[in-house]
Structure 1
Amino acid sequence: MRNPLPALARALGTRPWLMKLAAAVVWADARLHRVSRGRVSLVGIAGLPSLRLTTRGRRSGLPRDNNLLYLPHGGDFVVTGSNWGRQRDPGWTFNLRADPHVTVLVRGGTVNATARELTGAEHEAMWRELLAFWPGYAMERAGAGRELPIFVLTPGDPPTGEVG
């Protein structure tokens, strides 16, 4: 029997009222992810892939963690800076642009990765894949009034210094 939760989550993800719950969802998800050491997240409970991204703060140099929905793409992780439909890119996108070396906690395991922001035709092709995966991104892009940045996180390259 197929898990009905991913389809339900995708349907709920297209509802504008969900964006109003962003702060509560982010708070609860961060705690759940932390206490389970990356094995459980709200997104994961809904049957969708999630990861905990650790970047280096571009100003502070300190580790910064964010739980994100991701699109599995071969051995890579694709993440989108939707920021729940807000007008500004999320802070982690600025951190990635300043230092692309990150740590990813996924399914209870930690991997080092390097981020690459997609542009042009590559961005457009991946955007279509992302919309098929998470239709709510269309609503978030419309609400934000901006192009949503897309990053591919490729495992394997060690971060410079201690990230997480």
Structure 2
Amino acid sequence: MSRIFPHLLRAHQWIYEQSGGLLGHRLLLGNPTLLLRARGRRSGLIRTNALTYARDGDCYLVVASNGGAPKPPHWLANLTSTPHCEVQVGRRRLAVDARPTFPGDADYARRWTIVDAVNKGRYTQYQRKTSRPIAIVELRPTS
């Protein structure tokens, strides 16, 4: 299953994008999913990633887990370089500003509980697989 899962995720993202958000808001496992569109730090091109999200007030929260890999996902470096980006939730598109947070942040522990519950405990499993602190990225809609 672990070898098939990346292909399923790509197919899910393709359906989400091609349907304009009509399909794809819920991942195969039932997780709420958004499309993150951020500028590539080297290419300058807009890169899209389908990510599980949770809500904290007006903010969307995504987790840079990369499945517990030793290195964070590339989209985290893109957001650090250019924090202004766009999310699509279902058919709705929003301009947002991204702010990565780590264990020292005052809201991190509370937010970890929120995102881990939405992802059915998988983020805690991923954190056990890696020594790097996994970032929670706050995506705050711009005014």
1:138 aligned to which of 101, 108, 124: 124
Given that 1:80 and 1:151 are in contact with CA atoms closer than 8 Å, whether structure 2 keeps it comes out as: yes
Structure 2 CA distance for aligned equivalents of residues 21 and 43 of structure 1: 19
In structure 2, the residue matched to 1:149 is: 135
Given that 2:34 and 2:88 are in contact with CA atoms closer than 8 Å, whether structure 1 keeps it comes out as: yes
1:83 counterpart = 2:66: yes
TM-score, length-normalised on structure 2?
0.87
Structure 2 CA distance for aligned equivalents of residues 144 and 43 of structure 1: 27
Structure 1 CA distance for aligned equivalents of residues 4 and 67 of structure 2: 9
For residue 91 of structure 1, what is the amino acid of its counterpart?
A: H
In structure 2, the residue matched to 1:58 is: 41
For structure 1, which runs of at least 5 residues remain unmatched after alignment? 1-16, 158-164
Query: Aligned-pair distance for 1:71?
Result: 0.3
Structure 2 CA distance for aligned equivalents of residues 45 and 37 of structure 1: 18
2:98 aligned to which of 107, 115, 121: 115
Q: Which has the larger helix fraction?
A: 1
For residue 58 of structure 2, what is the amino acid of its counterpart?
A: G
In structure 2, the residue matched to 1:95 is: 78
Gap change, CA 1:39 and 1:144, over 3 Å in 2: farther
RMSD: 1.8
Gap change, CA 1:87 and 1:21, over 3 Å in 2: farther
Q: Partner of 2:41: helix, strand, or coil?
A: coil
Deviations 1:37-56 (A, max 9, x none): 12222734544311000000
For residue 110 of structure 2, what is the amino acid of its counterpart?
A: A
Query: Aligned-pair distance for 1:89?
Result: 0.3
Structure 2 CA distance for aligned equivalents of residues 42 and 143 of structure 1: 28
| Identical counterparts, % of pairs | 30
